[in-house]
Structure 1
Amino acid sequence: MSTSEQRPGALQGIRVVDFGHHVAGPLAAVMLADQGADVVHVDRPGVTPPADDAFFNRGKRRISLDLKDAADLGVARDLVRRADVLIENFRPGVMDRLGLGWEELRAANPRLVYCSLPGFAADDPRAGVPGWEGVIAAATGNCRIRAGHAPDGWDDTRPTYTAIPVASNFAAFCGAFAIVASLTARQRTGRGDRVEVPLFDAMFEAIGGSGAYPVARGLPPERAISSNGSGTYRCSDGRYVQFNPIGATPRFLVWFLDAAGVTAWVGEGLADRARLDRDPELRRLLHDRLTALFLTRPAGEWEELAGVAGVPLAAVRTLAEWLDNDHARASGQVVVVDDPELGATAMPGSAVWLSATPALPGRPRHLPDADRAEILAELASPAGPPSAEVASPAGPPSAELASPAGASPARPPRVEAGPVADPVAGPAAGPVALPYAGRRVVDLTQILAGPSAGRILVEFGADVVKINSPQRRVGAHGFVNRGKRTILVDVKSSQGQQILWRLIDEADVLTHNFPERTAERYGLGYEHVRARRPDIVYVSVSCYGYGGPWAGRRGYETQGQAATGIMTRTGGDGRPAVLGPYNVLDYGTGAMAAFAAAVGIYHRELTGAGQQVRTSLTRTGGYQQASFAVRPAHELPAVTPGGNVPGGARAAEPSGPEALGLSAWHRFYQAADRWFFLGATRRSLPVLREVPGLEQALSGLDGSDDDAVAAALQTAFRTATASEWTGRLTEAGLGAHPVTTLAELMADPWARSQGLTVTQISEEAGEVVMPGIAIRVHGNPPRLGHPVRRPGADAHEVLDRIGLAGSAETLEQAWAVQMSALPSGWDHF
C-alpha cells in the first residue's frame, strides 16, 4: 500500500482491510486508523453512505467491490494477502462462503490477524440469527430502566429500547484491543491469529460487576444510587444536574454543602454517612432539602460551584451541546473535520490520546471508491513484506521504526514464548505465552473503569499488582480485580511511596485515575515517573479527560452520561435519566483504557520508548453515541448550560422509557408469557406473512401504516409464548429473541459452557459467579485470572518481591500499608 505519505501514529505501517458494515467493524477499524494504521474500507457498489459515514470511515482509503463478482473477489483476496489485519462483522459463515474465511486466508498470509465481530458466535446455536442490537439487548437483559429512574407506576417486566448500539460498541472496543494485543504477540511468534468478539459475548464486558455475586446470597436486586443525596435535580432555569457525592466517606457532600452556604446541614446530621445508610427518613429529608436547594440557581452555576469545590456534579446536556462544548473541543474529545460532502463537521475525536504517537482523527473520510486507482496500482506492483514491522521474530525493527534518540531499549519478555505454531498445521506441543506474559502493571485506579482495564490486561497475560487505599471499602473488588495481587498502601505517605516506587521500578505499565494535577501533587505525574522509568507506559483515566478547562473535575458514570447527552437521550417527558441497566461508560472506558495501554505497549515493543496514554468516561460517552454524533457546524446549537434546552434526539430516533423500537417491524412485543424482540424491516413483510400464526393477521396490510402493522402483530403475538414465536421467526430467517433477565443469563448453560459466565471459589465468600471473558483468540486464548483475595491479602508476597519483607511490620505500624483487619471484597454484592 502507499508509502508516499509518512504518517505518525503507533500503528504506522500496519495495513488493515475493513469489510465492516453498520457499527462494530467500521468502529474498530477507525480506532486503528486514528492511531496511524493504513485502513482500506471495502464498500458494496451502489450503496449511498449515511451521515455517520463521515465518522466511521474517516481516515480510511476506500474501494467498492462486489464480493459476488469473481474479479472483485480476486481484488479483495489480493488486499488481504498483503494485509496485517482483516476486520469483518458478517454473520458466521458468510466470509467462508466467499473464500475469505480464516482457514483459507491464513494459509496465504500466516501473519494475518483476523477479527470477526458477528452478532452470535459461530458455535452459538443462534449463529444464524440476525444480530440486530435489539435482539442482542433482549438476549442479554440490556432493555431495563436503571433502578431509581423509572416513571411512577412502571411495570418492571416491560422492556425499553435504546437506539445506542451498546453491543456493537463494546464489540468494537474489545476487538480493537485484541487486534493490537495480537499484533504484539506476533512480534514474538511471527504468526497471526483469529480474534472473535460476538456482540452477544461483548455484552458480558458491559454487564461487569452487575453480574457478580456469591452463590449463597444470589444475585442482589438492582438498587438506585441514592447515598449521600445522589440524584438528578431540577434547577431554577428548568435544566437539570446530576449530583453523585458517593464514596467511602461523605467528603464530597460536605464540600458541596460548604460551597453552597448550607454548612449547618452537617450539624443536623445530614452528612453523617452511617446514619444516612441506616435511616431512610434522614435520606428522604436530605433529598427534599437538596431538591429545594437546587431550585435556587441555574444548572450552569451549580456546575461551576461544584467544579471549584471538587464535587462530582454535571449539568445535563444534549449530545449537540457536547459536540459544541469548549472543553470537549479543547481536550480533543470532539474534532471538526472538513468532510467532502458535509463541510466542517463535528464528531468524536480519537478514542485514546497518546503523547509520543499522536492520533490522527482530523483526516476526513474519502468517498466510496475514491481510492480505486491507487489501490489497484499497488496490487499490481510486486508484493512487499506484510507490514513495516520486523520481518521475522528474530529480526530487528525496520529503520523507520528504530528506537528514537534517548529512548531506553525495549526489555525482553520475562516469559519466553513456547514452541511457535505452524500457521497452517496448527499449534505445536507446549505452551505459548500470552501477549503480555512477563509484563508487569502497577494499578492505582479505583472504582470500575481503570480496574477493568487492569483485569483485561491480566486476561492477556500481564502480572498486575492492585494498590488500594487502606481503611476503605473496595467496590466490585471480586470482579474488577480478578487475577491481580492486591495490597493496601497509603501512597501519600513517604513510606507508602517507598513501596510504590519499588513496584514502579520493575513495572512496564502504570495506571491511575486521578484528576488532572492530582498525580503531580503526589509526585506521581508522568514527568516524575518518566524521569526514573523512560520506557514506562503511563495510563491515565479520568471522567472528563485532560487538556481542557474541566480536566481537574471529578465525576463518575452518571456525570459522564449527563455531560455527553446520554441522559437527555434516555429520559422522557423532559426529565433526563441514566441509561440502564449496565455501566456502559465505566466498563466501556475500561476497554478503551486497555486499548490505550495496548497501543502504548505495542509502540514500546517496536521502539523501546514509553509514553503517556489517556482516555476518559466522556470520550467513551461520545463513542457510545457515535452513530448520532456527526453534526455539520450549522446544525450545532448556540446555547449554554444555563439556556433553554434545544431539541434532543433527532425526530426519527426512539427515546424515553416508553420506546419499544424503531418501527413496527423492529421492536419489542408481548407474547402470551413474556416480551420478546422482533428484528425485521419493512421488506420482511412477505416473509412475515408466511410465518405460521401471522398469515391472517397481516392479510390486507401493505406495510405502509406502521401503527396498523404493530397492532396486528401485537394481537397475533399474544396467542403463543415468546419461545414459540422466536422459534417460528428465526426459522423464517428473521431476528427474534425472548427478553432474558440477568439472573437467567448468568445461569444460562450455554453461556457457562463458553466461559461467558464463570464460577470461582473465593476464600471469603465461597462459590461466586461473575462474567467471564468476552474476547476469543483462537490460537492463544486469554485466560481467566485467579480468584482475587480480600483487598490487601497479598501484601506479604508483594513486599517480599520488592525486597521489603523484613520491613513489613514497621510499614504497617507507620500506617503505610494495611495487612490486618482487611476490608471485605464481597460485602456489598
Structure 2
Amino acid sequence: MEAVMGALDGLRVIDFGQYMAGPLAAMMLADHGADVIRIDPPTGPMWDTPGNAVWNRGKRRISLDLKTADGRRTAQDLIASADVVVENFRPGVMDRLGLGAEESTNGNDRLIYLSLPGFSSDDERASVPGWEGVVSAPVGTYSGSLMKDAPKPVYTAVPIASSYAAFTGCAGVAMALVARERDGFGQRIEASLHDSLYQAIGIRGLRYLDREAPRPPVPWVGPYECADGRWVFFHAAYSHFIRQFCVSAGVPQWLDEPWSKASEIMNDFSLADTARAHLTNIFLTRTAQEWEDLINDGGNGPPTVRCLDSSEWLHEPHAREAEIIVEFDDPELGPMLQPGIQVRMGGTPGEIRGPRKALDADRDNILAEVSASAPSAIRAPGNRLSQALEGMTALDLCIILAGPTCGRTLAEYGADVVKIDNPSRENGIMLHEDINRGKRSVLLDLKRGEGREVFMELAADVDVVVQNYRLGKVGGLGVDYESVRQINPDVVYASLNAFGEIGPWAERAGWEQLAQSASGMMTRYGDTEPTLQPFAINDYGTGINGAFGVGMALYHRLRTGEGQQVFTALARTASTLQSNVLHGYEGKHWGEPAGQDAVGEGPLHRLYEASDGWLFAGAKPEQSQDMPSPEEFATKTVAEWVSELTAKGIGASPVGSVEEAMTEYRAVSNGLSVTREHEGRGRVRTNGPSIKMSRTPVTVGRPAMLPGSAAAHVLGDRSSDLSELGVVVGADSGSG
C-alpha cells in the first residue's frame, strides 16, 4: 500500500530520546511523514514499558553503544545527515559524548536540534535527575484539583510535564522548519519538562493583582451522579444551554427561578446551593447514558458526557470511528489499541506508518545510507529572520482556552495575530488577559452581513485562520474553510474542537472538563466522585498542538504553495496525554496510581512527607538502598532531604504550590511568569512562553489589549461607519 503523504515527508529525524518526552516528540514527527531513526542502547530502551509500543511506532531502529568510539562516530554521521535531532538527556550529557547541540549545528548549519531536559540548562537544578515527578512537584502539579483544594499533595498518573515538553518541542521544530525554509538556517531548541509545565498552569496562575474578584460558584457546570451510580459531567455555561436543559428534562418551570440565572447567582452565592440541590436530585432520575443521549440532542444541547474510565474510552465507538484510538499489531504485545495521530491535516493527512519495530531491526539499511551520504555543507551566513513567523498574519476567531492558545502561540513566534471576538457574547471575553496577549483586538459581529464581509476582506490576505467552534458552526456563519479558500486558496485554516472532525460526537460542543470526563482522566484522579486534573491540560495542550499543525502546514506551503486545513481536538490531546497507560492488549493490567490518596508509582518514584512539608523523590532501581523509608523521611526537613538525596544522584524536589511557582525568582526573571499593566485591569500576572529558540526567539508579546481597541488600526477609515452600524464595537478606542 502506498504511504499517505505527510507534511514532513523527506525529513530525517534522529531520535536519541529515552523514557517519554523525547520518544513522544519524535513519534509525533514520524506520524507526519518524517523518517525517524531511533537510536537505542544495546540493551534497548532505558524504561521497559508498554508505552514504548506507542512512542516508537513508525520509526526505524538501530542500536548504538554511545560509550564506544565506533558508536559515537556512527551517531555523529547520522546527525550530519539529519534535519532534526531529538534528545532528552540532562544538560551536558550529549556534549560530553561529542553529540551536543553546539558541535552538531556547527557541522550542519541547517540542523534543528531539539533538547528536552528535565530542568533547563540555565537552571541551578540542571544536574538533578529530571524524573517526571521531580520536575512536576515544584510547579504545583500535585497541589490538588481544579475543582477543589487538597489537604495534602495528590499524585496524578498523567505525565503532564513529559507530554507538554513534547508538545512544545514539536511546535518549536515546526516553526524552526518554517524559518529554515525561509532563510536557510537551522537552530537549537530547548523545551525543558519543568519549564513546559508553565504552559499547563495557565489560568491557575492568572492573577488580577489590583482588583482580584471572588469566583462565583457554577452549579450548572460539574459532575452529577445518575440513577445507575454512574456520573456525567454537565456543562451548561450559557443561558441558552440552561434553557435547553430545562426543556429537555421536562422542568421548564425552573427557568422562572432565580437560581437558574448566572446573573442572580453572581449577586447571591447561596442560590448556587439551591441550584445544585435541584440538579443533584433530577440527575438521579435517569441513567448516565440516558442523560447523555437526552441532553446532547444531536450536538445542540449543553455539553454532557458520561465519566468513563480509560478502558471504556479505548472501546467507545466515537473514539474508534474518529481514529482518536487506533489498533496495531505490536510485535511484542500483539493486537493493541493506542492513541491515534494528535494533529490531522486535510491536504497532507499523515499516517502511523506501522507498529514499533524490533530492536536494531534496520541496522544494515541505516549503516548503508550513512556511508553513502555526505555531511551537509556549511553555508555562509545570510539575511536571517528574527522570528520564525515574522511577516505572517493570522485571524483568530476562537473562544475560551484551546483555540486562543493556538493564536497566542503563533503570536509568540512572531505572527501578527488579529483576535476577532463577538461584541455581544454572553459572559464577555473570558480569560482575555491570559489567552490574548500579543494580539490585536477587534470586536466584530459575524452574524451581520456587513461583519462577514469585513471578515472575508481580512481573510483574503492572511496566512492563517484559527477557529474552535463545534463542527458546522462556522459554516452557518459563512466563514468556514471552504468559504475562505474560495478567496484565499493557499490559506492555512486550523479547526480545533472538543471531539474531532469525524465520528458520532463530532458536532458536540465541549470543554476541558468533557475531554477529561470522556477519556478517563477524572475517574482515575477521583475517588467516590470524578475529579478534575490540577490544570486545564487538554485546553492548553490542544492549543499548542494546533500551533504545531499550523507550523507544519506553513512549512508544507512554503515547499509546495499549497494551503490546507488543520484539525486537532481536546479528546485527541487527552488521549496523547495518557499514552503512558492508554493502551489495550491481551493481559493488560490497569494498575496505575489512582484516587485522591495516590502518592506515586512506587517507593522509588513518589511523594514523601518530611518533618515540615512534602517532597518528591525519584531514583533508579540500583539506588534503592539509598532511598529512605517513609518513617525516615519524617525525621528531617524537606530542604535537608533534597540536599542529601541530590548529592547521592537521586532526584528530589520540594512540593510547591502554583503561587510559589509563579512568584519564584527564576520563573519571573526568565519570563515564565509575567506581571504587567493592562488597560482597565491594572497589574495582571500571566504565564509567558517557555521554549528557547537560539536563532528566532519567542516573545511574550504586548499585554492583552482592551477588547476592540485595534479596530481603527486594523480596519482603517471604515471602522467609524461600521461602528455606527453596530457591526464593530470599540472602533474609536486606541490603536493597534
**Structure 2 length normalisation: TM-score?**
0.95
What does 1:262-341 correspond to in 2, within 5 Å?
262-308=251-297, 309-341=300-332
Alpha-carbon distance change, 681 to 341 in structure 1, aligned in 2, over 3 angstroms: closer
TM superposition shift of 1:168: 0.4
Q: Which residue of 2 aligns with 1:41?
A: 38
TM superposition shift of 1:420: 3.2
2:678–2:705 CA contact under 8 A, matched in 1: yes
What does 1:548-563 correspond to in 2, within 5 Å?
548-563=503-518
**Which blocks of at least 5 consecutive residues in structure 2 are unaligned?**
none
CA–CA separation in structure 2 for the residues paired with 1:263 and 1:475 = 28
Post-superposition Cα deviations, 1:721-740, rounded to whole Å, max 9, x if no partner, equal 21122111112211111111
In percent, how many aligned pairs have the same letter? 42
What does 1:167-246 correspond to in 2, within 5 Å?
167-217=161-211, 226-246=217-237
CA–CA separation in structure 1 for the residues paired with 2:690 and 2:37 = 27
CA–CA separation in structure 1 for the residues paired with 2:280 and 2:733 = 38
1:228–1:271 CA contact under 8 A, matched in 2: no
Q: Which residue of 2 aligns with 1:361?
A: 352
TM superposition shift of 1:776: 0.3
CA–CA separation in structure 2 for the residues paired with 1:10 and 1:620 = 20
Q: Which residue of 2 aligns with 1:796?
A: 712
TM superposition shift of 1:228: 4.8
Q: How many residues align?
A: 728
1:227–1:277 CA contact under 8 A, matched in 2: no
Q: Which residue of 2 aligns with 1:406?
A: none
1:209–1:480 CA contact under 8 A, matched in 2: no
1:732 aligned to 648, 656, 661, which one?
Answer: 648
CA–CA separation in structure 1 for the residues paired with 2:375 and 2:315 = 44
Q: Which residue of 1 aligns with 2:132?
A: 133
CA–CA separation in structure 2 for the residues paired with 1:740 and 1:577 = 20
2:11 aligned to 9, 14, 27, which one?
Answer: 14
CA–CA separation in structure 2 for the residues paired with 1:280 and 1:782 = 42
Q: Secondary structure at the match of 1:606?
A: helix
Answer yes or no: is 1:439 the counterpart of 2:392: yes
CA–CA separation in structure 2 for the residues paired with 1:495 and 1:209 = 35
2:146–2:532 CA contact under 8 A, matched in 1: no
TM superposition shift of 1:505: 1.1
Alpha-carbon distance change, 148 to 784 in structure 1, aligned in 2, over 3 angstroms: closer
What does 1:618-629 correspond to in 2, within 5 Å?
618-629=571-582
1:453 aligned to 397, 406, 414, which one?
Answer: 406
1:546 aligned to 473, 497, 501, which one?
Answer: 501
TM superposition shift of 1:335: 1.2
TM superposition shift of 1:5: 8.1
Q: Secondary structure at the match of 2:580?
A: helix
2:581–2:592 CA contact under 8 A, matched in 1: no
1:228–1:276 CA contact under 8 A, matched in 2: no
Answer yes or no: is 1:767 the counterpart of 2:683: yes
Q: Which residue of 2 aligns with 1:79?
A: 78
What does 1:506-545 correspond to in 2, within 5 Å?
506-545=461-500
1:443–1:512 CA contact under 8 A, matched in 2: yes
Q: Which residue of 2 aligns with 1:420?
A: 382
Q: Secondary structure at the match of 2:290?
A: helix
1:24–1:169 CA contact under 8 A, matched in 2: yes
TM superposition shift of 1:67: 0.6
What does 1:454-493 correspond to in 2, within 5 Å?
454-472=407-425, 473-493=428-448
Answer yes or no: is 1:111 the counterpart of 2:110: yes
Alpha-carbon distance change, 193 to 328 in structure 1, aligned in 2, over 3 angstroms: same
Opposite residue 366 of structure 2, the aligned amino acid is I
What does 1:53-64 correspond to in 2, within 5 Å?
53-64=52-63
CA–CA separation in structure 2 for the residues paired with 1:787 and 1:148 = 28
Q: Secondary structure at the match of 1:530?
A: helix
Q: Which residue of 1 aligns with 2:64?
A: 65
1:676–1:738 CA contact under 8 A, matched in 2: yes
2:146–2:533 CA contact under 8 A, matched in 1: no
Alpha-carbon distance change, 7 to 84 in structure 1, aligned in 2, over 3 angstroms: farther
Post-superposition Cα deviations, 1:258-279, rounded to whole Å, max 9, x if no partner, equal 1111111102233222112222
CA–CA separation in structure 1 for the residues paired with 2:217 and 2:731 = 31
Q: Which residue of 1 aligns with 2:555?
A: 602
Post-superposition Cα deviations, 1:269-322, rounded to whole Å, max 9, x if no partner, equal 332221122223321111111111111111111111222142111111111211
Q: Secondary structure at the match of 1:667?
A: strand
Alpha-carbon distance change, 67 to 238 in structure 1, aligned in 2, over 3 angstroms: same
Q: Which residue of 2 aligns with 1:426?
A: none
CA–CA separation in structure 2 for the residues paired with 1:16 and 1:505 = 35
Tell me whether 779-788 or 161-170 shows the greater mean CA deviation.
779-788
Post-superposition Cα deviations, 1:36-69, rounded to whole Å, max 9, x if no partner, equal 0000011111236432211101110000111102
TM superposition shift of 1:598: 0.8
CA–CA separation in structure 1 for the residues paired with 2:265 and 2:239 = 10
Alpha-carbon distance change, 268 to 760 in structure 1, aligned in 2, over 3 angstroms: closer
CA–CA separation in structure 1 for the residues paired with 2:192 and 2:304 = 35
Q: Secondary structure at the match of 1:627?
A: coil
Post-superposition Cα deviations, 1:704-752, rounded to whole Å, max 9, x if no partner, equal xxxxxxxxx3333233321122111112211111111222211111112
Q: Secondary structure at the match of 1:270?
A: helix
1:336–1:362 CA contact under 8 A, matched in 2: no
Q: Which residue of 1 aligns with 2:660?
A: 744
CA–CA separation in structure 2 for the residues paired with 1:739 and 1:552 = 41
Alpha-carbon distance change, 382 to 545 in structure 1, aligned in 2, over 3 angstroms: closer
Alpha-carbon distance change, 663 to 764 in structure 1, aligned in 2, over 3 angstroms: same
Answer yes or no: is 1:653 the counterpart of 2:564: no
Opposite residue 588 of structure 1, the aligned amino acid is G
Opposite residue 331 of structure 1, the aligned amino acid is A
1:54–1:630 CA contact under 8 A, matched in 2: no
Opposite residue 201 of structure 1, the aligned amino acid is D
CA–CA separation in structure 2 for the residues paired with 1:379 and 1:11 = 20
Opposite residue 461 of structure 2, the aligned amino acid is E
CA–CA separation in structure 2 for the residues paired with 1:813 and 1:300 = 49
TM superposition shift of 1:673: 1.8
CA–CA separation in structure 2 for the residues paired with 1:348 and 1:761 = 42
CA–CA separation in structure 2 for the residues paired with 1:307 and 1:780 = 45
Alpha-carbon distance change, 822 to 238 in structure 1, aligned in 2, over 3 angstroms: farther
Q: Which residue of 2 aligns with 1:758?
A: 674
TM superposition shift of 1:562: 0.5
Opposite residue 303 of structure 1, the aligned amino acid is E
Post-superposition Cα deviations, 1:469-526, rounded to whole Å, max 9, x if no partner, equal 1033111111210010001111111011121111101111001011111111111221
2:712–2:731 CA contact under 8 A, matched in 1: no
Opposite residue 479 of structure 1, the aligned amino acid is D
Opposite residue 440 of structure 1, the aligned amino acid is T
Q: Secondary structure at the match of 1:227?
A: coil
TM superposition shift of 1:217: 4.5
TM superposition shift of 1:208: 1.4
Alpha-carbon distance change, 307 to 6 in structure 1, aligned in 2, over 3 angstroms: closer
Alpha-carbon distance change, 261 to 715 in structure 1, aligned in 2, over 3 angstroms: same
Post-superposition Cα deviations, 1:154-190, rounded to whole Å, max 9, x if no partner, equal 52xx101011110000000000010011011011221
**Structure 1 length normalisation: TM-score?**
0.85
2:219–2:273 CA contact under 8 A, matched in 1: no
Post-superposition Cα deviations, 1:306-342, rounded to whole Å, max 9, x if no partner, equal 2214211111111121111211122121111122232
Q: Which residue of 2 aligns with 1:497?
A: 452
1:349 aligned to 326, 340, 351, which one?
Answer: 340
What does 1:685-704 correspond to in 2, within 5 Å?
685-688=624-627
Opposite residue 35 of structure 2, the aligned amino acid is D
Post-superposition Cα deviations, 1:219-261, rounded to whole Å, max 9, x if no partner, equal x78x6x8425211111111111001111xx4111111111111
